[in-house]
Chains A and B, each alone.
Chain A
């Protein structure tokens, strides 16, 4: 089976008109893919979705271009840090910049994000401290930041588990009578998980203000999306009674429009929305992965031609906005962020041995207190506590 047969690959998918019909499977009706900027950088009009981004000024478009460039730089820098032994692991987001910035920049401060581990660009939009962004991947903590400081939960590693948290949080928003929204990010692989399906059942049942943002990057480590689903992912939502949108995930304006539609519906009491952002994981699953073992270089080439940043650059050029000043500014901005992040990473203080016991409970626990006491005595029995955990032993 080729990727094209699924209607989820194929170079033709993003060319031409702003929307088009893709072939369906199993006789299930398919959704039109929303696109506002073509891969060539042409702004195409859309009768419905234009309204949702008509307030975006040239200046804001430049800012989105800057954001996407910065998070790509963060991603490149973090990958380098991993290669240099400063990080244990990193999950690259290369290729998914529009999906993350278009949605992340649509949120309000009082919305709450429950994401997977790849939404580092969304975390950037939420204002995460750059050092905190790397804390987990350096092995210095299991969670990088205080979720309440940026209204974003720390990255979820169990696939799809966070969608339930978002739904419960949204039920809490309902009880509180406010109009904020819980937004959950997950991938195409996660749509097979029971938790994601249960989350949609609950969200629909309670009409909870939650947005299910599915980043279809075509790959769950080595498994292609066609292994997860024989229909377009967006079309699954109808079975739960949840309206869905299928957008070009490499089109920052289309993603923004779709996210705004979903957020607006949730704020008005209209319940959940499912967004499928069709994009591509240009890099490996993580720095520990080797995609050459399972995917075709031609496919990568096809998607490289649909790059989310290049198309905005092309659009800016058409509009006469891609000045050398802008390019310098964006480059400086990215370099500054990368420098700051690298410094934060390499100067991050190591956790202390006894920190291993911290925060398991919020109150004393006799079992753990005893183990902690015994381990402190054990460590104290070594002149240099580092010797206590060396592989060769210190005796």
Chain B
């Protein structure tokens, strides 16, 4: 009983202390832009570590189902492999595929998604690769069907990424093989739709034309196919805004590749100058 009597005031003090510190952090976050970013990154790191841990326990009890899924995935990958082999045999590899195979200053790390949100306005992804696997902050996440997100915070064995289904993410994209370049952003509603903005009015295109990464950002290599162009509308009489149907379906995504630009630091240093 005496121990309990001593414990209760300590618990109350600790609770008050934690509440006050949260209030102070909240004040700092609302008033300092540097601090807001710093606190957000810290919170993302903690989320990544916590969710990574709980997902590990959950996966242990789901191994049988995971094995089944892996077998199905294996079959699907074999099909894809046969398809791509046929393309190579026909010598019809386009520049994007050559880019991925040859590297061009990018490293590729295969990863598995541990947690993904799809129903929020700001969606995120947690993958099972971290700094010890060579993942760097601001690396891209891609699949064979397009761009998935950008790494925001890296822990030892897990990384937290902002999903492309996020209004803060914009990817430099090109319409067609040699077409106009503009920012591609999520449309905020569907997991399969995006909007390509700032396309000059004089640029003509056909509905169904493929949209690729432009390679003008240091995050993603050029020529990754992202989706197909759809209807357009004129914005302020100055530019076209084109609807894009994405190749990547975010509701079925599981295996991804982290792509890091080996020259990113050098490029950022140049930009800072």
A joins B in a complex = no
Q: Which residues in A have some Cβ–Cβ distance to B below 8 Å? A: none
